[in-house]
Structures are given as structure tokens and as C-alpha cells.
Amino acid sequence: MDLLAPAPGECFLDGTAGAGGHSEAIAQRIGPGGVLVSADGDPSMLRIAAARLAPYPWVRMVHADFSDLDRLCEAADGRPFDGVLLDLGISSVQLDDPERGFTFREDGPLDMRRDTGSDDATAADIVRYTRENELADIIYQFGEERFSRRIAARIVEQRRSTPIETTGQLARLVSSAIPRKGWPRDIHPATRTFQALRIAVNRELESIAAFLERIPGHLAPGGRVGVISFHSLEDRLVKVAFRSAAAGDEATLKVVTKKPVGPGNEETRENPRARSARFRVARRID
């Protein structure tokens, strides 16, 4: 909040409403004279956020992808934003629900779609229909998993006899494809493969890239944009986009955080999932 500095009467966008924690903090600061557009691509999260934000009638809830900036700006009556926040990835509510298929800790359907009401392919569809080479590329690029080829080969071998439809099945299969001495020390061996599938299912990097390209045009002079990312693929996109928008004579942004801001010790102790968070902020040049 210090870096985004929401002030009374300002117009803000929270592109990742989640359970509404950040939106509530912003809504309190901009007050009844301001406008906050609070968006999420997952209708079930939007309902949770809407309940929390009910006491702040200046908040407008929108079911949308955060890259759909024209629609989000329309929800603010066409006003450019004084501040924009993205807190990427999925929330604990989504992660901890085995029915959503994001977690390997409990067995559930291999879904992973942000919006379970959409017609998009699920993780089970990707695992079932994608060619071996392409599957290996997804796991390598989006999961940064060095055993991607072995994992893809094992998936293809397995699916010939039995469809892979649950998170438990996939987690066991991935673990068995990675040699014991290659298992990561502090995370489950299937973590990277699950991350890769989630990114592929929801086309996460495409949304982030589209958002970053368009956001300077939707900021008011002096407007701030902040992005919290949770892994290096996301953080790299943000870093490169901010730097390139801040370079040259036609620069539109100024980078506010020279280095990304991470959580303090106390925050990590209270919420270990925050440990890999990196926050970068830039400001629209007048």
C-alpha cells in the first residue's frame, strides 16, 4: 500500500481480486469519493470478494481476465487508473480445494481451469491429447523442470493403457519419472510439472504479457502499477516490460522499485506461501 499509495477519491484497479484482501485495503484508502474496479477470472473467487467488499459500494466487481483492460476501464466509466495491482497466480482458497485440481497433496480431478464454467481445455485434456514433444516443452518452459522429457515419456506410456484423470495419479507418475537423486530438496517432485500445466491451461503468461503491454495506456499521469509475482517466469516478464517502457525518449513509465520487494521474516513466518513473492512497481510519467 505504501508503494501504490491509494489516496482519497482515486480510481484503482485490482486485477486479481481473489479473496478481496488487497481490494479491501485499497477501498478503505480511496474512500467513497473513489472508484475501485475489482476483477477476477474465477467467478467463485469473485463471489467471496464481493461478500467482503459489500460495505464499500464504490467497489465494482467484474468477471474478467486482467488483460481485458478496455472492459475494466469501461467499468471505471472510462477513467484512467491512478493505481493498478496484480497479485498473480492462484489463491490459497483455490489451491486448497482438491476439486479444483491444483494440488498434488490430495486426490481430485485434474482440472486446473480458473473458470470451471468455461469450455477451455482442462489439465486432464492437455495430458491426454498433447503430443509427447509438445508436452515436454510445456513442462520444461513453464515448469523449468529439467526432467521434462522423461516425465512426458512416462505420461505418454501410461496414457496408452490408463487415462490420467486425477491429481494423485499424475503426482505419483511424475515422482516415479524423476530419479530419486534428482528429487528437489524442499518441494514435492511434482511441483514444477503442476505449475507448468496450470500456466498452460490458463495461458497465464499470455495474459501477463498482454496486460504489461497495454497498461501504460490506461494509467493517469503519475498512476502506479504494481505486480506481485511468484516465480521467475512471471517476474522476468514484469522486469523486462517495466524496463523497456522506462527506456528511451518515448518512455511511458518510471521504475519505482529498483529491486523487487520481498516479504519480511515475520510475514513469511505467518504465511509461508508468501516466501517467493516479488513485488515490482512502476509509475506513469507525466
Ligand X SMILES: C[S@@+](CC[C@H](N)C(=O)[O-])C[C@H]1O[C@@H](n2cnc3c(N)ncnc32)[C@H](O)[C@@H]1O
What residue ranges bind ligand X (CB under 6 A)?
Answer: 16, 18-22, 39-42, 45, 65-66, 87, 89-91, 114, 207
Distance CA 243, CA 233 (A): 16
Q: CB 54 → ligand X: shortest distance, Å? A: 15
Of 128 and 203, the one with the shorter C-beta distance to ligand X is 203
* Contacts by 181-186, CB closer than 8 A, 24 or more apart: 182/146, 182/147
Backbone angles phi, psi at 138, to 5 degrees: -60, -45
Q: CB 218 → ligand X: shortest distance, Å? A: 15
Of 71 and 172, the one with the shorter C-beta distance to ligand X is 71
Of 16 and 148, the one with the shorter C-beta distance to ligand X is 16
Of 10 and 42, the one with the shorter C-beta distance to ligand X is 42
Of 19 and 121, the one with the shorter C-beta distance to ligand X is 19
Q: CB 8 → ligand X: shortest distance, Å? A: 21
Burial-class residue 36 by CB neighbours within 10 Å (0-12, 13-18, 19+): buried
The closest alpha carbon to 286, from 241, 253, 255, 242, belongs to: 253
Q: CB 39 → ligand X: shortest distance, Å? A: 6
Neighbour tally for 209: CB within 10 Å:
16
Q: CB 180 → ligand X: shortest distance, Å? A: 33
Of 156 and 210, the one with the shorter C-beta distance to ligand X is 210
Burial-class residue 8 by CB neighbours within 10 Å (0-12, 13-18, 19+): exposed
Which residue's beta carbon is nearest to the bound ligand X?
18
Whole-angstrom CA distances from 65 to 47, 86, 179 are 16, 11, 39
Q: CB 219 → ligand X: shortest distance, Å? A: 18
CB-hemisphere CA count at 13 Å for 33?
Answer: 6
